[in-house]
Amino acid sequence: MKSSSRAFSANAEKAMLDTQLQRALNKAGSGFIDKRRAALDALPEFEALRDTAKAIKEHTLSHLDEYLVHFEQQVMANGGQVHWARTPAEAANLVVELCRAVGAQHVTKGKTMVGEEIGVNEALQQAGMTPIETDLGEYIIQLADEPPSHIIAPAIHKTREQITALFKQHHERYGLTKPLETIPEIVNEARQVLRQEFLQADVGITGANLLIAETGSTVLVTNEGNGDLTASLPRVHIVIASIEKVVPTLEDATVILRLLARSATGQEITSYTSFFSGPKRDTDLDGPEAFHVVLVDNGRTEMLGNDYHPMLRCIHCGACLNHCPVYSAIGGHAYGWVYPGPMGSVLTPLMIGLQQAPDLPQASSLCGRCAEVCPMSIPLPDLLRQHRFRLHAQHSGSLLTRLTLGAWAWLARRPAIYHWTMNTISGVLHRLSRKRGRLHRLPFASPWTRSRDFPAPQGETFMSAWAKKSRQQGGDK
Ligand code: SF4
């Protein structure tokens, strides 16, 4: 299933009516939220860590060129190679060429959202290679031919019944026909299939949560250990990472790691936090013979220093998705591109163009929960508002929306007329509701009233009620 960011409204409506999706989303529900809360309650220094992490990232971003070059030098000193890609196509070509150079047929992959961004699976398949996802969630959606619906839980939208049906359909060819019922059974069967893939892989591709300039290491956090098998068993290990992932030192990395796992899954630390620092050395028992890092820009250098600069601090923890009322109602596919939720609504228009994703900046109630929980203090609602300003400046959106906003802006600058108008509208809506307190149909607000009632105003605005009360109190004295 592929969707498009341009079709967000239609995608969202479809998602709301998808009973299987709603069941899966309800089940996932508050799990991440409760675990994060408990983890933070046990970490009194969270706010201090958040400030330190923000300062580390801001310092790094203001010297990004130096730290990236230092990282490259260290990778080379360790025996690896760094490759630079300005666009997704360049990055995908680089990966394909690296795989071709060693005659690769089978390629195992750990979870990499930047890999999704550059379409690496499609590029490998077009070149005649078989990429196999080894993260369980990614493996499930690869079987379903779907993109991830969450940046840390790619198959969160699937019910257990859907997963067992997928396994039945795809695993029969391995002679695995036993009906699966429990999660351990599902995990064991995936393990059996993937073990063979790990053993026959020529190249392993992983992402990176962090790059450390001081040591030339790439850091990967997983809970399944698949990242380590992907990195160590094949002859070649390729890391795909975006350029803003670099931090200066190991110590800086540990600050961010302490925030990452807690914000993402509520764990103190993920089950596997692996540091890869080059190919196998003579004294190592195992490891890849070659180590490559493909550094992807894809518009990030343009974000440096502009209005969207804070977004480069993102560590892809997913907390903003988990706490977003919009994401919780529609899941990730409705957003139509790699990154969903509030962080996706900021990033996607920057990466594929605002005109390709004009609805995403509106996919938020601006309630502010995302900014509140973001471990990197990214002001997501402000960034979404920036997109809205740009859209308005580009005369995007319907004529009705622009006229309504224009009228509202005119009114808001004239307080006396504004209060009179609001009071009048309030009174009219109150009368229209016939004192039921709710309105079933409202012209100009049909997308809202089509599926829910509109709460009717009390009959006068707060300001007018306040003024009336003050007058009465003045008269009583
Ligand atoms: S924007 Fe913040 S909360 Fe959202 S994924 Fe990035 S770091 Fe996490």
Which domains can be identified in the chain, with CATH numbers? 43-301 (3.40.50.10420), 399-476 (no CATH)
Average pLDDT (309-316) is: 98
Q: Which of 315-319, 345-349, 367-371, 433-437 has the lowest mean pLDDT?
A: 433-437
Ligand 1 in reach of 383 Cβ (< 6 A)? no
Residue 260 alpha carbon to ligand 1 centre in Å: 9
Strand runs (DSSP E) across 283-383, as ranges? 290-296
- 28-45 pLDDT, tens per residue? 767 899 999 999 999 999
Amino acid of residue 187: V
Residue 172 alpha carbon to ligand 1 centre in Å: 39
Q: What is the 3-state secondary structure (H, E, C) of the chain?
A: CCCCHHHHHHHHHHHHHCHHHHHHHHHHCCHHHHHHHHHHHCCCCHHHHHHHHHHHHHHHHHCHHHHHHHHHHHHHHCCCEEEEECCHHHHHHHHHHHHHHCCCCEEEECCCHHHHHHCHHHHHHHCCCEEEECCHHHHHHHHHCCCCCCCCCCCCCCCHHHHHHHHHHHHHHHCCCCCCCCHHHHHHHHHHHHHHHHHHCCEEEECCCEEECCCCEEEEEECCCHHHHHHHCCCEEEEEEEHHHEECCHHHHHHHHHHHHHHHCCCCCCCEEEEECCCCCCCCCCCCCEEEEEEECCCHHHHCCCCCHHHHHCCCCCHHHHCCHHHHHHCCHHHCCCCCHHHHHHHHHHHHCHHHCCCHHHCCCCCCHHHHHCCCCCCHHHHHHHHHHHHHHCCCCCHHHHHHHHHHHHHHCCHHHHHHHHHHHHHHHHHHCCCCCEECCCCCCHHHHCCCCEECCCCCCHHHHHHHHHHHHHHHC
Q: Which of 4-18, 128-142, 321-335 has the lowest mean pLDDT?
A: 4-18
Beta-strand pair 106-109/130-133: parallel
Ligand 1 in reach of 144 Cβ (< 6 A)? no
Average pLDDT (217-234) is: 96
Query: What six digits make up the tokens of 52?
Result: 């330190």
Ligand 1 in reach of 374 Cβ (< 6 A)? yes
Mean of per-residue pLDDT scores for the chain: 93
Is the pLDDT at 421 greater than 50? The verdict is yes
Ligand 1 in reach of 343 Cβ (< 6 A)? yes
From the CA of 316, give the closest atom in ligand 1: 5
- 83-104 pLDDT, tens per residue? 999 999 999 999 999 999 999 9
Beta carbons of 338 and 344 less than 8 angstroms apart:
yes
Pocket test for ligand 1, best of 242, 244, 256, 263 (most atoms within 8 A of CB): 263
From the CA of 311, give the closest atom in ligand 1: 1
Ligand 1 in reach of 384 Cβ (< 6 A)? no
Ligand 1 in reach of 318 Cβ (< 6 A)? yes
Contacts (Cβ under 8 Å, ≥6 apart) of 375:
49, 50, 53, 259, 260, 262, 263, 315, 317, 319
Beta carbons of 219 and 253 less than 8 angstroms apart:
yes
Claim: this prediction has a pTM higher than 0.85: yes
Confidence of residue 1 (pLDDT cuts 50, 70, 90): very low
By alpha-carbon position, which residue is closest to atom 6 of ligand 1? 314
Query: What six digits make up the tokens of 41?
Result: 């309650």
Task: Give residue 112's pLDDT.
Answer: 93
Residue 332 alpha carbon to ligand 1 centre in Å: 15
Dihedral sign of CA atoms 232, 316, 111, 187 in order: positive
Pocket test for ligand 1, best of 378, 380, 382 (most atoms within 8 A of CB): 378
C-alpha 299/C-alpha 280 separation (Å) is 33
Q: Which of 138-142, 236-240, 440-444, 452-456 has the lowest mean pLDDT?
A: 440-444
- 139-158 pLDDT, tens per residue? 999 999 999 999 999 999 99
Ligand 1 in reach of 53 Cβ (< 6 A)? no
Task: Give residue 437's pLDDT.
Answer: 81
Ligand 1 in reach of 50 Cβ (< 6 A)? no
Confidence of residue 468 (pLDDT cuts 50, 70, 90): confident
Q: What are phi and psi of 159, to 5 degrees?
A: -85, 165
Amino acid of residue 298: N
Q: How many CB atoms lie within 10 A of CB 387?
A: 23
Average pLDDT (68-90) is: 98
C-alpha 201/C-alpha 143 separation (Å) is 18
- 248-299 pLDDT, tens per residue? 999 999 999 999 999 999 999 999 999 999 999 999 999 999 999 999 999 9
From the CA of 315, give the closest atom in ligand 1: 7
Q: Which of 68-77, 400-409, 458-467 has the highest mean pLDDT?
A: 68-77
C-alpha 317/C-alpha 265 separation (Å) is 8
